[in-house]
Amino acid sequence: MKKTFIDVSTWKGKKHYEWFIRYPVHYYNVTKEINISKFLSYLKGKTINDTKVSFFIAFLYIVTKGLNEIEEMHLRIQNGKVIKYDLINPAYTIMTDAGVFENCDNEYDEDFKTFYLKTKTAIDKIKHSINDFPYNNLNEFNQFYMTCLPWIDFTGLFHPMPNDDSAFVPRICWSKYYERNGETFIALNIQVSHALVDGYPLSQAFIKVEEYLNMPEILKL
């Protein structure tokens, strides 16, 4: 993991950073309906190690890959300094055997099969246990905080936010997928700090995720 400190005085985002960092509520979110018909069709019948490919892990990979390609999604604020991480990993919620959510994370890998096996191992371990560790590591923020509500479809969502530096970490949630007129859709919600991510890069993040969902062959299954 590598991180670079940003000189705000010469940074292109200086003006909106200095404006929105003063807001007690500096974050905003957008929810967008996304067509996943091609993605689902591609996954049908696909296996890894003779096991059906998990939609959750495959979607997690696509979102992580897409967001990693947007420079602003790598920005964080720690101890009053703007920094940029070179790579962002997924941190996500998993329902345990006890029926409660637990946080899980693993390193991102560009190779989907490698990523898949890392993620599945992490999930299998956390599903069968409950630990007392804090939900998020407040020393490093090279993560996207992700979750899903696979029981309902929704048109909007607002994340509970802490009063610490983790408030600058993007938060992502997706819904149950649903059909309409023969096509399948999912709602994707992304929440970011306006001090770091303006409307244009956030829009580009959605566009990049959609682009990869429409070319699922990048999974190379």
Tell me, what's the pLDDT at 23?
96
Q: How far is CA 185 from CA 15, 45, 166, 181, 212, in A?
A: 37, 20, 30, 10, 15
- The β-bridge relationship of strands 27-35 and 51-52 is unpaired
Quick: pLDDT tens for 6-57.
999 999 999 999 999 999 999 999 999 999 999 999 999 999 999 999 999 9
- Would you give the DSSP letter of residue 135? S
Q: In the predicted model, is pLDDT for residue 89 greater than 90?
A: yes
Residue 42, H or E segment = helix 37-43
Strand locations in the chain (E): 3-5, 27-35, 47-48, 51-52, 75-78, 81-85, 89-95, 101-105, 143-149, 171-175, 178-180, 183-193
Whether the Cβ atoms of residue 74 and residue 83 lie closer than 8 Å to each other: no
Identify the pLDDT of residue 35: 98
Would you say residue 138 has pLDDT above 90?
A: no
Grouping H, G, I as helix, E, B as strand and the rest as coil, residue 1 is: coil
Q: How would you classify residue 32: left for phi > 0, otherwise alpha for psi between -120 and 50, otherwise beta?
A: beta
Per-residue pLDDT, 128: 79
> Is 202 strand, coil or helix?
helix
Q: Which residue, 196, 166, 1, is CA-closest to 86?
A: 1
